[in-house]
Structure 1
Amino acid sequence: MKTDSIFYRIFQTDPGILFELLGQSPDRAQGYEFKSVEIKQVAFRIDGVFLPTPEASDLTIWFVEVQFQRDPAFYQRFFSEIYLYLNLHPETVDWQAVVIFPKRSIEPDYPHVFRANLNSDQVHRVYLEDLDESVDSLGVGLMQLIVADSGDTATQAQALLSRVQPQEQTNPRFAAIMELIETIVVYKFPQLSREEIESMLGLSELKQTKVYQEALDEGRQEEGQSLILRLLTRRIGDVAPELRSQIRALSLVQIEALGEALLDFKQPADLVNWLQDHRSE
Protein backbone atom coordinates (compact mmCIF):
# COMPACT_ATOMS: atom_id res chain seq x y z
CA MET A 1 0.00 0.00 0.00
CA LYS A 2 1.24 3.50 -0.83
CA THR A 3 1.46 4.62 2.79
CA ASP A 4 3.32 7.88 2.17
CA SER A 5 0.63 9.27 -0.14
CA ILE A 6 -2.15 8.04 2.16
CA PHE A 7 -0.68 9.76 5.21
CA TYR A 8 -0.04 12.91 3.21
CA ARG A 9 -3.72 13.00 2.18
CA ILE A 10 -4.83 12.31 5.75
CA PHE A 11 -2.84 15.20 7.21
CA GLN A 12 -3.89 17.47 4.34
CA THR A 13 -7.55 16.62 4.97
CA ASP A 14 -7.43 16.93 8.74
CA PRO A 15 -4.16 18.21 10.28
CA GLY A 16 -5.66 17.79 13.75
CA ILE A 17 -5.18 14.02 13.46
CA LEU A 18 -1.44 14.43 14.12
CA PHE A 19 -2.12 16.04 17.48
CA GLU A 20 -4.75 13.42 18.31
CA LEU A 21 -2.06 10.76 17.85
CA LEU A 22 0.04 12.59 20.43
CA GLY A 23 -2.84 12.75 22.91
CA GLN A 24 -3.26 16.50 22.38
CA SER A 25 -6.22 18.59 21.27
CA PRO A 26 -6.81 18.58 17.49
CA ASP A 27 -7.54 22.30 17.83
CA ARG A 28 -3.77 22.88 17.90
CA ALA A 29 -3.75 22.34 14.13
CA GLN A 30 -5.83 25.44 13.43
CA GLY A 31 -2.74 27.62 13.05
CA TYR A 32 -0.87 25.24 10.74
CA GLU A 33 -0.60 24.25 7.09
CA PHE A 34 0.68 20.79 6.19
CA LYS A 35 3.00 20.76 3.20
CA SER A 36 6.18 19.38 1.71
CA VAL A 37 9.25 21.61 1.81
CA GLU A 38 11.87 21.62 -0.91
CA ILE A 39 15.48 22.39 0.02
CA LYS A 40 16.89 23.39 -3.33
CA GLN A 41 20.55 23.59 -2.29
CA VAL A 42 20.75 19.83 -1.85
CA ALA A 43 17.85 18.85 -4.12
CA PHE A 44 15.68 16.99 -1.64
CA ARG A 45 12.22 17.46 -0.20
CA ILE A 46 10.92 17.04 3.35
CA ASP A 47 7.51 15.51 2.72
CA GLY A 48 5.75 16.27 5.97
CA VAL A 49 6.05 19.65 7.67
CA PHE A 50 3.45 21.52 9.68
CA LEU A 51 4.30 25.18 9.12
CA PRO A 52 2.58 27.88 11.20
CA THR A 53 0.46 30.30 9.22
CA PRO A 54 1.39 34.00 9.33
CA GLU A 55 -1.42 34.73 11.80
CA ALA A 56 -0.62 31.78 14.11
CA SER A 57 0.24 32.43 17.76
CA ASP A 58 2.28 29.22 18.13
CA LEU A 59 5.28 29.36 15.78
CA THR A 60 6.58 25.86 16.46
CA ILE A 61 7.40 23.87 13.30
CA TRP A 62 6.46 20.17 13.30
CA PHE A 63 8.44 17.70 11.18
CA VAL A 64 6.53 14.48 10.44
CA GLU A 65 7.98 11.27 9.02
CA VAL A 66 6.08 8.07 8.26
CA GLN A 67 8.40 5.05 8.25
CA PHE A 68 6.86 1.73 7.22
CA GLN A 69 10.06 0.04 6.01
CA ARG A 70 12.98 -0.91 8.21
CA ASP A 71 15.93 1.37 7.43
CA PRO A 72 19.08 1.11 9.61
CA ALA A 73 20.14 4.63 8.57
CA PHE A 74 16.72 6.21 9.10
CA TYR A 75 17.62 8.41 12.09
CA GLN A 76 20.82 9.65 10.42
CA ARG A 77 18.78 10.86 7.47
CA PHE A 78 15.85 12.17 9.53
CA PHE A 79 17.88 14.36 11.88
CA SER A 80 20.17 15.50 9.04
CA GLU A 81 17.14 16.82 7.16
CA ILE A 82 15.83 18.62 10.25
CA TYR A 83 19.12 20.33 11.08
CA LEU A 84 19.73 21.28 7.46
CA TYR A 85 16.30 22.91 7.40
CA LEU A 86 17.07 24.78 10.62
CA ASN A 87 20.40 25.93 9.23
CA LEU A 88 18.66 27.33 6.14
CA HIS A 89 15.86 28.91 8.19
CA PRO A 90 17.52 30.66 11.16
CA GLU A 91 14.26 32.50 11.86
CA THR A 92 12.73 29.25 13.20
CA VAL A 93 11.45 29.83 16.75
CA ASP A 94 11.03 26.21 17.88
CA TRP A 95 10.55 22.72 16.45
CA GLN A 96 9.08 19.33 17.24
CA ALA A 97 9.43 16.04 15.35
CA VAL A 98 7.06 13.08 15.03
CA VAL A 99 7.96 9.65 13.63
CA ILE A 100 5.13 7.23 12.86
CA PHE A 101 5.96 3.51 12.76
CA PRO A 102 3.39 0.77 12.07
CA LYS A 103 4.96 -1.35 14.83
CA ARG A 104 7.97 -1.30 17.12
CA SER A 105 9.88 -3.94 15.16
CA ILE A 106 10.21 -1.52 12.20
CA GLU A 107 12.11 1.07 14.23
CA PRO A 108 15.86 0.74 13.73
CA ASP A 109 18.20 0.31 16.64
CA TYR A 110 19.17 3.90 17.19
CA PRO A 111 22.83 4.79 17.63
CA HIS A 112 24.13 6.15 20.90
CA VAL A 113 24.89 9.47 19.21
CA PHE A 114 21.18 10.30 18.89
CA ARG A 115 20.27 9.73 22.55
CA ALA A 116 19.89 13.47 23.24
CA ASN A 117 17.34 13.82 20.42
CA LEU A 118 15.36 10.65 21.09
CA ASN A 119 15.18 11.15 24.85
CA SER A 120 14.15 14.80 24.59
CA ASP A 121 10.65 16.27 24.68
CA GLN A 122 11.08 17.44 21.06
CA VAL A 123 10.94 14.02 19.39
CA HIS A 124 7.80 11.87 19.54
CA ARG A 125 7.58 8.28 18.32
CA VAL A 126 4.15 6.83 17.52
CA TYR A 127 3.60 3.08 17.07
CA LEU A 128 0.26 2.43 15.37
CA GLU A 129 0.05 -1.08 16.86
CA ASP A 130 -0.13 0.52 20.32
CA LEU A 131 -3.05 2.87 19.61
CA ASP A 132 -5.96 2.51 22.03
CA GLU A 133 -8.86 0.92 20.14
CA SER A 134 -11.35 2.45 22.56
CA VAL A 135 -10.47 6.03 21.55
CA ASP A 136 -13.52 7.57 19.84
CA SER A 137 -11.70 9.46 17.08
CA LEU A 138 -12.13 9.20 13.33
CA GLY A 139 -8.53 10.28 12.86
CA VAL A 140 -7.04 7.64 15.13
CA GLY A 141 -9.43 5.12 13.57
CA LEU A 142 -8.01 5.92 10.14
CA MET A 143 -4.52 5.15 11.40
CA GLN A 144 -5.70 1.84 12.82
CA LEU A 145 -7.39 1.00 9.52
CA ILE A 146 -4.11 1.42 7.64
CA VAL A 147 -2.39 -1.29 9.69
CA ALA A 148 -5.42 -3.57 10.09
CA ASP A 149 -5.26 -7.15 8.85
CA SER A 150 -7.08 -7.72 5.57
CA GLY A 151 -9.64 -9.88 7.34
CA ASP A 152 -10.54 -7.03 9.70
CA THR A 153 -10.40 -4.15 7.22
CA ALA A 154 -14.04 -4.16 6.08
CA THR A 155 -15.38 -4.47 9.63
CA GLN A 156 -13.17 -1.65 10.91
CA ALA A 157 -14.05 0.58 7.96
CA GLN A 158 -17.78 0.05 8.54
CA ALA A 159 -17.33 0.76 12.25
CA LEU A 160 -15.57 4.04 11.40
CA LEU A 161 -18.39 5.12 9.11
CA SER A 162 -21.02 4.21 11.69
CA ARG A 163 -19.49 6.64 14.21
CA VAL A 164 -20.76 9.59 12.23
CA GLN A 165 -24.32 10.60 13.00
CA PRO A 166 -26.62 11.43 10.05
CA GLN A 167 -26.68 15.12 10.92
CA GLU A 168 -22.87 15.23 10.69
CA GLN A 169 -22.81 13.90 7.14
CA THR A 170 -23.24 17.43 5.78
CA ASN A 171 -19.83 18.29 7.28
CA PRO A 172 -17.19 18.49 4.49
CA ARG A 173 -14.66 16.92 6.87
CA PHE A 174 -16.80 13.78 7.01
CA ALA A 175 -17.07 13.60 3.23
CA ALA A 176 -13.30 13.91 2.89
CA ILE A 177 -12.61 11.29 5.57
CA MET A 178 -15.11 8.93 3.96
CA GLU A 179 -13.18 9.27 0.72
CA LEU A 180 -9.98 8.44 2.62
CA ILE A 181 -11.56 5.35 4.21
CA GLU A 182 -12.60 4.16 0.77
CA THR A 183 -9.12 4.87 -0.66
CA ILE A 184 -7.41 2.88 2.11
CA VAL A 185 -9.68 -0.08 1.46
CA VAL A 186 -9.02 0.19 -2.30
CA TYR A 187 -5.28 -0.08 -1.64
CA LYS A 188 -5.81 -3.08 0.61
CA PHE A 189 -8.04 -4.89 -1.92
CA PRO A 190 -6.54 -4.05 -5.32
CA GLN A 191 -8.42 -6.95 -6.92
CA LEU A 192 -11.79 -5.30 -6.20
CA SER A 193 -13.34 -2.48 -8.22
CA ARG A 194 -14.30 0.78 -6.51
CA GLU A 195 -17.97 -0.08 -7.09
CA GLU A 196 -17.51 -3.39 -5.28
CA ILE A 197 -15.82 -1.64 -2.37
CA GLU A 198 -18.60 0.97 -2.17
CA SER A 199 -21.11 -1.86 -1.99
CA MET A 200 -19.05 -3.72 0.63
CA LEU A 201 -18.92 -0.63 2.84
CA GLY A 202 -22.52 0.39 2.22
CA LEU A 203 -21.53 3.68 0.57
CA SER A 204 -23.41 3.45 -2.72
CA GLU A 205 -26.70 5.00 -1.56
CA LEU A 206 -25.13 7.60 0.70
CA LYS A 207 -22.84 8.92 -2.05
CA GLN A 208 -25.88 9.64 -4.22
CA THR A 209 -27.57 11.89 -1.66
CA LYS A 210 -27.65 15.64 -2.12
CA VAL A 211 -26.25 16.38 1.34
CA TYR A 212 -23.22 14.20 0.69
CA GLN A 213 -22.55 15.79 -2.69
CA GLU A 214 -22.80 19.27 -1.16
CA ALA A 215 -20.45 18.32 1.65
CA LEU A 216 -17.99 16.80 -0.81
CA ASP A 217 -18.03 19.95 -2.97
CA GLU A 218 -17.40 22.10 0.09
CA GLY A 219 -14.51 19.86 1.09
CA ARG A 220 -13.02 20.13 -2.39
CA GLN A 221 -13.36 23.89 -2.19
CA GLU A 222 -11.39 24.00 1.08
CA GLU A 223 -8.75 21.66 -0.35
CA GLY A 224 -8.50 23.82 -3.46
CA GLN A 225 -8.03 26.96 -1.38
CA SER A 226 -5.17 25.36 0.57
CA LEU A 227 -3.50 24.21 -2.65
CA ILE A 228 -3.81 27.67 -4.22
CA LEU A 229 -2.21 29.28 -1.17
CA ARG A 230 0.74 26.89 -1.34
CA LEU A 231 1.22 27.55 -5.06
CA LEU A 232 0.99 31.31 -4.56
CA THR A 233 3.63 31.17 -1.82
CA ARG A 234 6.00 29.42 -4.19
CA ARG A 235 5.17 31.84 -6.99
CA ILE A 236 5.15 35.27 -5.31
CA GLY A 237 6.26 34.66 -1.71
CA ASP A 238 4.24 34.89 1.50
CA VAL A 239 0.61 35.87 1.00
CA ALA A 240 -0.64 38.62 3.32
CA PRO A 241 -3.34 37.61 5.87
CA GLU A 242 -5.95 39.95 4.31
CA LEU A 243 -5.37 38.36 0.89
CA ARG A 244 -5.62 34.88 2.40
CA SER A 245 -9.02 35.81 3.81
CA GLN A 246 -10.20 36.95 0.37
CA ILE A 247 -8.99 33.70 -1.21
CA ARG A 248 -10.81 31.60 1.38
CA ALA A 249 -14.02 33.43 0.46
CA LEU A 250 -13.76 32.44 -3.22
CA SER A 251 -16.13 29.94 -4.79
CA LEU A 252 -14.92 26.66 -6.27
CA VAL A 253 -15.22 28.11 -9.80
CA GLN A 254 -13.18 31.17 -8.80
CA ILE A 255 -10.55 28.94 -7.15
CA GLU A 256 -10.15 27.02 -10.40
CA ALA A 257 -9.82 30.29 -12.34
CA LEU A 258 -7.19 31.59 -9.91
CA GLY A 259 -5.29 28.33 -10.28
CA GLU A 260 -4.88 29.04 -13.98
CA ALA A 261 -4.19 32.75 -13.59
CA LEU A 262 -1.45 32.44 -10.95
CA LEU A 263 0.85 30.76 -13.48
CA ASP A 264 1.39 34.23 -14.94
CA PHE A 265 1.85 36.03 -11.60
CA LYS A 266 5.26 37.58 -11.01
CA GLN A 267 4.62 39.74 -7.92
CA PRO A 268 2.05 40.16 -5.10
CA ALA A 269 0.43 43.05 -6.98
CA ASP A 270 -0.72 40.58 -9.65
CA LEU A 271 -2.73 38.70 -7.03
CA VAL A 272 -4.19 41.92 -5.62
CA ASN A 273 -5.31 43.02 -9.07
CA TRP A 274 -6.83 39.62 -9.86
CA LEU A 275 -8.85 39.59 -6.64
CA GLN A 276 -10.11 43.10 -7.30
CA ASP A 277 -11.17 42.17 -10.83
CA HIS A 278 -13.07 39.07 -9.64
CA ARG A 279 -14.57 40.44 -6.44
CA SER A 280 -18.08 40.90 -7.86
CA GLU A 281 -18.36 37.52 -9.62
Structure 2
Amino acid sequence: MKTDHWFYGLFQSAPDLITLLLPGAAATPRLGADAPGDSVYRFEAPELKAVNHRLDGLLWPRGIESGTSEQPVVLLEVQMQSTQEFKHRLAAQAFRFVQLHPQVQHLEVVVVVPNWQLRLGPSQLPHQLEAFLAGVHWLSLEELGRQPGLDPLVSLLTLPVLPKPDIRSATDRILKPRPDLVEAVLSILGERFPLLTREEIMALINLPTDHLRHTRLAQDWMAEGEARGRSAEAAVVALRQLSLVCGPMSEATTSRIQALPLEQLEALSEALLQFRGPADLTTWLAEHTG
Protein backbone atom coordinates (compact mmCIF):
# COMPACT_ATOMS: atom_id res chain seq x y z
CA MET A 1 0.00 0.00 0.00
CA LYS A 2 1.13 3.57 -0.67
CA THR A 3 0.43 4.50 2.95
CA ASP A 4 2.96 1.91 4.21
CA HIS A 5 5.83 4.36 3.77
CA TRP A 6 3.90 7.07 5.61
CA PHE A 7 3.32 4.77 8.59
CA TYR A 8 6.95 3.65 8.42
CA GLY A 9 8.16 7.26 8.62
CA LEU A 10 5.77 8.17 11.42
CA PHE A 11 6.66 5.25 13.68
CA GLN A 12 10.34 5.66 12.88
CA SER A 13 10.17 9.27 14.08
CA ALA A 14 7.95 8.53 17.09
CA PRO A 15 8.17 4.84 18.06
CA ASP A 16 6.44 5.56 21.39
CA LEU A 17 3.28 6.34 19.44
CA ILE A 18 2.50 2.64 19.83
CA THR A 19 1.91 3.20 23.57
CA LEU A 20 -1.17 5.29 22.77
CA LEU A 21 -2.59 2.39 20.76
CA LEU A 22 -2.09 -0.20 23.50
CA PRO A 23 -4.16 -0.60 26.68
CA GLY A 24 -2.81 1.42 29.58
CA ALA A 25 -0.72 4.07 27.78
CA ALA A 26 2.31 4.91 29.93
CA ALA A 27 4.41 7.22 27.76
CA THR A 28 4.01 10.47 25.87
CA PRO A 29 5.28 10.08 22.31
CA ARG A 30 7.66 12.69 20.97
CA LEU A 31 8.04 13.68 17.33
CA GLY A 32 11.21 14.97 15.79
CA ALA A 33 14.71 13.90 14.96
CA ASP A 34 15.77 13.78 18.61
CA ALA A 35 12.85 11.60 19.71
CA PRO A 36 14.18 8.10 18.91
CA GLY A 37 17.11 8.48 21.29
CA ASP A 38 14.80 9.27 24.23
CA SER A 39 12.03 6.83 23.37
CA VAL A 40 10.95 3.69 25.17
CA TYR A 41 10.54 1.76 21.93
CA ARG A 42 12.94 1.22 19.04
CA PHE A 43 11.36 0.88 15.60
CA GLU A 44 12.57 -1.26 12.72
CA ALA A 45 10.98 -3.04 9.77
CA PRO A 46 12.86 -6.35 9.35
CA GLU A 47 12.22 -8.88 6.63
CA LEU A 48 11.33 -12.25 8.16
CA LYS A 49 13.05 -14.96 6.17
CA ALA A 50 11.15 -18.07 5.22
CA VAL A 51 12.02 -21.17 7.23
CA ASN A 52 11.28 -24.69 6.07
CA HIS A 53 9.35 -26.73 8.62
CA ARG A 54 9.17 -30.52 8.31
CA LEU A 55 6.39 -31.97 10.43
CA ASP A 56 6.91 -35.32 12.15
CA GLY A 57 3.37 -36.34 11.27
CA LEU A 58 0.06 -35.00 10.06
CA LEU A 59 -3.18 -36.96 10.35
CA TRP A 60 -6.19 -35.92 8.27
CA PRO A 61 -9.69 -37.28 9.03
CA ARG A 62 -10.81 -38.97 5.82
CA GLY A 63 -13.13 -36.84 3.75
CA ILE A 64 -13.12 -33.93 6.23
CA GLU A 65 -10.23 -31.59 5.48
CA SER A 66 -11.53 -28.97 7.91
CA GLY A 67 -11.63 -31.49 10.76
CA THR A 68 -14.35 -31.67 13.39
CA SER A 69 -14.41 -31.44 17.16
CA GLU A 70 -14.65 -35.26 17.30
CA GLN A 71 -12.12 -35.88 14.50
CA PRO A 72 -9.69 -32.95 14.36
CA VAL A 73 -6.76 -32.61 12.03
CA VAL A 74 -3.78 -33.74 14.13
CA LEU A 75 -0.31 -32.22 13.95
CA LEU A 76 2.01 -34.78 15.58
CA GLU A 77 5.48 -34.04 16.89
CA VAL A 78 7.83 -36.51 18.61
CA GLN A 79 10.60 -34.92 20.71
CA MET A 80 12.92 -37.30 22.52
CA GLN A 81 15.76 -34.93 23.44
CA SER A 82 15.99 -31.65 25.31
CA THR A 83 16.28 -28.50 23.23
CA GLN A 84 15.68 -24.90 24.23
CA GLU A 85 14.14 -23.95 20.88
CA PHE A 86 11.43 -26.60 20.62
CA LYS A 87 8.44 -24.66 21.99
CA HIS A 88 9.11 -21.68 19.75
CA ARG A 89 9.58 -23.96 16.74
CA LEU A 90 6.39 -25.88 17.55
CA ALA A 91 4.34 -22.68 17.59
CA ALA A 92 5.94 -21.48 14.35
CA GLN A 93 5.17 -24.81 12.66
CA ALA A 94 1.57 -24.89 13.85
CA PHE A 95 0.76 -21.35 12.74
CA ARG A 96 2.59 -21.80 9.44
CA PHE A 97 0.49 -24.92 8.84
CA VAL A 98 -2.71 -23.02 9.60
CA GLN A 99 -1.61 -20.25 7.22
CA LEU A 100 -1.07 -22.76 4.42
CA HIS A 101 -4.31 -24.66 5.14
CA PRO A 102 -6.99 -22.06 5.90
CA GLN A 103 -9.71 -24.70 5.45
CA VAL A 104 -8.70 -26.33 8.76
CA GLN A 105 -11.14 -25.35 11.52
CA HIS A 106 -10.32 -28.00 14.12
CA LEU A 107 -6.62 -28.64 14.80
CA GLU A 108 -5.10 -30.70 17.61
CA VAL A 109 -1.36 -30.43 18.27
CA VAL A 110 0.02 -33.57 19.94
CA VAL A 111 3.58 -33.76 21.27
CA VAL A 112 5.08 -37.10 22.35
CA VAL A 113 7.95 -36.88 24.85
CA PRO A 114 9.78 -39.63 26.76
CA ASN A 115 9.09 -38.04 30.17
CA TRP A 116 8.23 -34.77 31.90
CA GLN A 117 11.88 -34.05 32.77
CA LEU A 118 12.68 -33.02 29.20
CA ARG A 119 13.60 -29.34 28.89
CA LEU A 120 12.03 -27.93 25.73
CA GLY A 121 12.36 -24.19 26.24
CA PRO A 122 13.16 -21.39 28.68
CA SER A 123 11.13 -21.03 31.85
CA GLN A 124 9.94 -17.55 30.87
CA LEU A 125 7.93 -17.38 27.64
CA PRO A 126 5.74 -14.69 26.03
CA HIS A 127 2.19 -15.05 27.36
CA GLN A 128 0.88 -15.52 23.79
CA LEU A 129 3.18 -18.52 23.41
CA GLU A 130 2.12 -19.85 26.80
CA ALA A 131 -1.52 -19.62 25.68
CA PHE A 132 -0.75 -21.67 22.57
CA LEU A 133 1.21 -24.28 24.54
CA ALA A 134 -1.67 -24.65 27.02
CA GLY A 135 -3.78 -25.99 24.16
CA VAL A 136 -1.16 -28.57 23.12
CA HIS A 137 -1.78 -32.20 24.10
CA TRP A 138 1.44 -33.41 25.73
CA LEU A 139 1.96 -37.18 25.99
CA SER A 140 4.66 -38.72 28.24
CA LEU A 141 5.63 -42.24 27.14
CA GLU A 142 7.02 -42.97 30.59
CA GLU A 143 3.70 -42.10 32.21
CA LEU A 144 1.77 -43.95 29.51
CA GLY A 145 3.79 -47.11 30.15
CA ARG A 146 2.61 -47.22 33.76
CA GLN A 147 -1.05 -47.44 32.79
CA PRO A 148 -2.62 -50.93 33.00
CA GLY A 149 -4.50 -52.67 30.22
CA LEU A 150 -2.91 -50.81 27.31
CA ASP A 151 -3.76 -51.72 23.74
CA PRO A 152 -0.82 -53.62 22.15
CA LEU A 153 -0.23 -50.77 19.68
CA VAL A 154 -0.09 -48.24 22.52
CA SER A 155 2.28 -50.52 24.46
CA LEU A 156 4.48 -50.61 21.38
CA LEU A 157 4.95 -46.84 21.66
CA THR A 158 6.39 -47.20 25.17
CA LEU A 159 9.22 -49.62 24.28
CA PRO A 160 11.79 -46.86 23.60
CA VAL A 161 11.55 -45.63 27.22
CA LEU A 162 10.62 -48.71 29.29
CA PRO A 163 13.22 -49.79 31.88
CA LYS A 164 15.18 -52.71 30.46
CA PRO A 165 13.91 -55.22 33.09
CA ASP A 166 10.30 -54.46 32.06
CA ILE A 167 10.80 -55.04 28.34
CA ARG A 168 10.26 -58.81 28.38
CA SER A 169 6.87 -58.63 30.09
CA ALA A 170 5.85 -55.70 27.90
CA THR A 171 6.72 -57.54 24.68
CA ASP A 172 4.80 -60.57 25.93
CA ARG A 173 1.71 -58.37 26.39
CA ILE A 174 2.20 -57.00 22.88
CA LEU A 175 2.97 -60.19 20.97
CA LYS A 176 0.54 -62.64 22.54
CA PRO A 177 -2.55 -60.85 21.16
CA ARG A 178 -0.68 -59.35 18.18
CA PRO A 179 2.08 -61.69 16.90
CA ASP A 180 2.05 -59.70 13.67
CA LEU A 181 3.82 -56.88 15.53
CA VAL A 182 7.01 -58.89 16.05
CA GLU A 183 8.95 -57.05 13.35
CA ALA A 184 7.92 -53.68 14.78
CA VAL A 185 9.10 -54.82 18.23
CA LEU A 186 12.44 -56.01 16.86
CA SER A 187 12.95 -52.84 14.86
CA ILE A 188 12.38 -50.61 17.91
CA LEU A 189 14.64 -52.67 20.15
CA GLY A 190 17.30 -52.91 17.46
CA GLU A 191 17.46 -49.11 17.33
CA ARG A 192 17.27 -48.68 21.10
CA PHE A 193 20.06 -51.19 21.79
CA PRO A 194 22.40 -50.92 18.78
CA LEU A 195 25.28 -52.56 20.69
CA LEU A 196 23.34 -55.72 21.57
CA THR A 197 23.82 -58.76 19.37
CA ARG A 198 20.81 -60.43 17.81
CA GLU A 199 21.19 -63.29 20.29
CA GLU A 200 21.08 -60.85 23.20
CA ILE A 201 17.93 -59.19 21.89
CA MET A 202 16.35 -62.64 21.40
CA ALA A 203 17.10 -63.41 25.03
CA LEU A 204 15.87 -60.00 26.13
CA ILE A 205 12.38 -60.54 24.74
CA ASN A 206 12.34 -64.32 25.26
CA LEU A 207 11.29 -64.95 21.66
CA PRO A 208 11.84 -68.50 20.31
CA THR A 209 14.69 -68.58 17.81
CA ASP A 210 12.67 -70.60 15.30
CA HIS A 211 9.95 -67.96 15.33
CA LEU A 212 12.50 -65.17 15.02
CA ARG A 213 14.15 -66.74 11.98
CA HIS A 214 10.97 -66.19 9.97
CA THR A 215 10.96 -62.42 10.45
CA ARG A 216 12.48 -60.13 7.83
CA LEU A 217 14.48 -58.19 10.43
CA ALA A 218 16.01 -61.37 11.85
CA GLN A 219 17.01 -62.47 8.37
CA ASP A 220 18.65 -59.09 7.81
CA TRP A 221 20.50 -59.42 11.11
CA MET A 222 21.77 -62.87 10.18
CA ALA A 223 22.88 -61.69 6.76
CA GLU A 224 24.72 -58.75 8.32
CA GLY A 225 26.40 -61.06 10.81
CA GLU A 226 27.57 -63.37 8.05
CA ALA A 227 28.87 -60.39 6.04
CA ARG A 228 30.79 -59.08 9.08
CA GLY A 229 32.31 -62.51 9.55
CA ARG A 230 33.48 -62.67 5.93
CA SER A 231 34.91 -59.15 6.16
CA ALA A 232 36.84 -60.01 9.32
CA GLU A 233 38.33 -63.10 7.67
CA ALA A 234 39.26 -61.12 4.52
CA ALA A 235 40.93 -58.44 6.68
CA VAL A 236 43.06 -61.07 8.46
CA VAL A 237 44.24 -62.50 5.15
CA ALA A 238 44.95 -59.08 3.64
CA LEU A 239 46.93 -57.92 6.70
CA ARG A 240 48.98 -61.13 6.70
CA GLN A 241 49.87 -60.66 3.02
CA LEU A 242 50.61 -56.95 3.47
CA SER A 243 53.00 -57.62 6.35
CA LEU A 244 55.12 -59.72 3.96
CA VAL A 245 55.21 -56.96 1.34
CA CYS A 246 55.17 -53.75 3.39
CA GLY A 247 56.62 -54.83 6.70
CA PRO A 248 55.17 -53.77 10.07
CA MET A 249 52.26 -51.33 9.80
CA SER A 250 51.07 -48.67 12.17
CA GLU A 251 48.02 -49.24 14.35
CA ALA A 252 46.15 -46.53 12.44
CA THR A 253 46.80 -48.24 9.08
CA THR A 254 45.82 -51.63 10.49
CA SER A 255 42.54 -50.23 11.86
CA ARG A 256 41.85 -48.50 8.55
CA ILE A 257 42.22 -51.76 6.66
CA GLN A 258 40.09 -53.69 9.16
CA ALA A 259 37.30 -51.15 8.64
CA LEU A 260 37.19 -51.68 4.86
CA PRO A 261 34.06 -53.37 3.47
CA LEU A 262 34.38 -56.84 2.00
CA GLU A 263 34.46 -55.62 -1.63
CA GLN A 264 37.40 -53.30 -0.97
CA LEU A 265 39.25 -55.93 1.04
CA GLU A 266 38.95 -58.32 -1.89
CA ALA A 267 40.19 -55.61 -4.26
CA LEU A 268 43.12 -54.87 -1.93
CA SER A 269 44.08 -58.55 -1.79
CA GLU A 270 44.37 -58.55 -5.57
CA ALA A 271 46.17 -55.20 -5.82
CA LEU A 272 48.79 -55.98 -3.16
CA LEU A 273 50.26 -58.66 -5.41
CA GLN A 274 51.73 -55.76 -7.41
CA PHE A 275 52.95 -53.77 -4.38
CA ARG A 276 56.68 -53.22 -3.89
CA GLY A 277 56.55 -51.50 -0.52
CA PRO A 278 54.55 -49.42 1.96
CA ALA A 279 54.36 -46.46 -0.46
CA ASP A 280 52.18 -48.52 -2.79
CA LEU A 281 49.79 -49.30 0.07
CA THR A 282 49.58 -45.62 1.01
CA THR A 283 48.79 -44.71 -2.60
CA TRP A 284 46.12 -47.42 -2.90
CA LEU A 285 44.38 -46.37 0.31
CA ALA A 286 44.38 -42.72 -0.81
CA GLU A 287 42.83 -43.64 -4.14
CA HIS A 288 40.24 -46.15 -2.91
CA THR A 289 39.12 -44.86 0.50
CA GLY A 290 37.80 -41.55 1.82
Please give the TM-score of this superposition, normalised by the length of structure 2: 0.47
> Max radius of gyration: which structure?
2
Query: By percentage of residues, which structure has more strand?
Result: 1
Please give the TM-score of this superposition, normalised by the length of structure 1: 0.49
Query: By percentage of residues, which structure has more helix?
Result: 1
